[in-house]
Structure 1
Amino acid sequence: MDDLEFRRRLLSDPHDRSDEILQKILDDQQNRQYVEGLLNLDSKIEQAFHVDVPDDLADKIIFAHSPAKKQVNMSSRMFALAASLIFAIGLGVGQINWGNVLVSPAHASLENMAMHHIEHGEQFISGINEGNSEQEVNAKLSVYSYRLSSDFPYHIYYLNHCGFSATQHALHMVFAGQHGRVTAFVTKIHSDKKIDFTQQGMKGQIIPLEKGSLVLIGSKQENIDALSQTITPLLTFTQ
């Protein structure tokens, strides 16, 4: 695959993680930066759609169309039209059960998604040792509205965004535990309670955050609970 095809496919789907795409990301730092930029843009676009409708917008629209407003200039008519459109869009968005669309199906298999991502992606980053700084961690955490309250206490081998599901992406971190490498995902997918799980000879834990979840996965010998008690308090919500 040449660079043009690589970029064309990612522009079409920033979350594409086929074997060819993963290999191109692994081979070239510029490709990793390009993917990171696309995911950051994708996140900003997603946030732009989450705009609250003002409580008094309906009253303003009604007032703008009342009989008392006989003399209406072109700018006020434009405002009324725009407000009506925004109000209609807001009502439409409000009628969608986003919890069922994004949260429930994802949360029901959050551990499966994490394990699937490790199974199909860790082989491409097993030899990477980036030694990322606190500044780099905070730069990537900011996409998920988090920052570190103090230094991250473990050596970081790998740090980047990843396509975690069809609708969500996550911060993907690999760091040094007591018994080998530990994988962490910070995602906006909500979880109601802490969940411990064991799959494919590994064990993990899902930890609820203020807005999203932290997923930790390591070897069966790793004390995942101790890691979560150390890392979770470091994740400070910024909004």
Structure 2
Amino acid sequence: MDDLELRRRLLSDPNDKSDDILKELHTNHQNKKYAESLQELDKKIEQAFRVEVPDDLADKIIFKQTPHKPQIHFSRRAFALAASVIFTFGLLIGQINWGSIIIQPAHASLDQMAMHHIIEEEPFIDGVNEGNNEQEIRAKLNVYSYNLDGEFPYHIYYLNHCGFSHDHHALHMVFRGQKGRVTAFISNIEAKESSQFNQGGMQGEITPLPQGSLVLVGEKGEDIAALSQKIAPMFKSNH
């Protein structure tokens, strides 16, 4: 085997252990050093590709690049169609204040934002049962600079990020309560004090967190206050 053939085969596979290759390397010191240099380079390339990806990398990318979850709902399409028809036929009935018809999250309170989001998302998550694990919870919480202190005590049906307002995100969680499904929003929107609310046959509670707020919403009869007292202390700030 000549040197050209040897080097061609080593470039193709630096770890070639064929008998003729080993024989040539045993008898030729320069070729042996050449093979060792290729093997060392191959190891460095392999190590360069061994980069550990953080568990929450995907969540951080989603959090930074998608301020709003794209959604198309029938109600909005219906409004758009109605507006087109009115415009086409010139049926102008006074001055319509659309801001009073549709809740604008940027100016809404936490309870309004929570209820609006639950209604919007219901068709998409009704019946969903992801059974999210502790690693997923911690990874998604980390995006909001929170740690989970202890094991989350309830079965989780759904866990994802959502656009809570025009410039804020929240971690949207649905878990099993005593009476049914309970929705939780963990956000960086500040709540100065705890408060309760009742809307649309549901009840909720807003609880301050170290860097934002926890909003819990459940069916009538669910002990939301007890749930809040149990899980709110589990969300610890990373800072």
* Aligned residue runs from structure 1 range 137-148, under 5 A: 137-148=137-148
Name the SS of the counterpart of 1:117 in structure 2. Answer: helix
Structure-1 residue corresponding to 2:203: 203
Structure-1 residue corresponding to 2:130: 130
2:224 aligned with 1:171: no
TM-score by length of 1: 0.58
Residue 229 of structure 1 aligns with an amino acid whose one-letter code is Q
Q: Measure, in 2, the Cα distance between the counterparts of 1:129 and 1:197.
A: 27
Q: How far apart are 1:123 and its partner, in Å?
A: 1.8
Q: Structure 2: any 5+ residue segments left out of the alignment?
A: 1-63, 74-104
Q: How far apart are 1:14 and its partner, in Å?
A: 3.8
Q: Measure, in 2, the Cα distance between the counterparts of 1:237 and 1:107.
A: 26
| Structure 1 or 2: more helix by fraction | 1
Structure-1 residue corresponding to 2:222: 222
Name the SS of the counterpart of 1:179 in structure 2. Answer: coil
Residue 168 of structure 1 aligns with an amino acid whose one-letter code is H
* Aligned residue runs from structure 1 range 80-159, under 5 A: 109-159=109-159
Map Cα deviations across residues 62-111 of structure 1 (whole Å, 9 max, x no partner): xxxxxxxxxxxxxxxxxxxxxxxxxxxxxxxxxxxxxxxxxxx8586110
Name the SS of the counterpart of 1:131 in structure 2. Answer: coil
* Structure 1 runs, 4 residues or longer, greater than 6 Å off: none
Q: How far apart are 1:127 and its partner, in Å?
A: 1.7
Name the SS of the counterpart of 1:175 in structure 2. Answer: strand
Structure-2 residue corresponding to 1:15: 68
The answer on whether the counterparts of 1:107 and 1:191 sit within 8 Å (CA) in structure 2 is no
The answer on whether the counterparts of 1:185 and 1:216 sit within 8 Å (CA) in structure 2 is yes
The answer on whether the counterparts of 1:15 and 1:163 sit within 8 Å (CA) in structure 2 is yes
Residue 186 of structure 1 aligns with an amino acid whose one-letter code is I
Q: 1:14 to 1:200 in 2, by over 3 A?
A: same
Structure-1 residue corresponding to 2:43: none
Query: What count of residue pairs does the alignment treat as equivalent?
Result: 146
TM-score by length of 2: 0.58
Name the SS of the counterpart of 1:192 in structure 2. Answer: coil
Map Cα deviations across residues 89-146 of structure 1 (whole Å, 9 max, x no partner): xxxxxxxxxxxxxxxx858611000000000102211121111111110000001111
The answer on whether the counterparts of 1:107 and 1:189 sit within 8 Å (CA) in structure 2 is no
The answer on whether the counterparts of 2:106 and 2:167 sit within 8 Å (CA) in structure 1 is no
The answer on whether the counterparts of 2:158 and 2:175 sit within 8 Å (CA) in structure 1 is yes
Residue 129 of structure 2 aligns with an amino acid whose one-letter code is N
Q: 1:106 to 1:14 in 2, by over 3 A?
A: closer
Q: Measure, in 1, the Cα distance between the counterparts of 2:220 and 2:164.
A: 23
> What fraction of aligned residue pairs are identical, expressed as a percent?
59
Q: 1:191 to 1:110 in 2, by over 3 A?
A: same
Name the SS of the counterpart of 2:165 in structure 1. Answer: coil
Q: How far apart are 1:233 and its partner, in Å?
A: 1.1
2:201 aligned with 1:193: no
Map Cα deviations across residues 141-192 of structure 1 (whole Å, 9 max, x no partner): 0011111110000000000000110000100000000000000000000010
Structure-2 residue corresponding to 1:180: 180
Residue 185 of structure 1 aligns with an amino acid whose one-letter code is F
The answer on whether the counterparts of 1:146 and 1:235 sit within 8 Å (CA) in structure 2 is yes
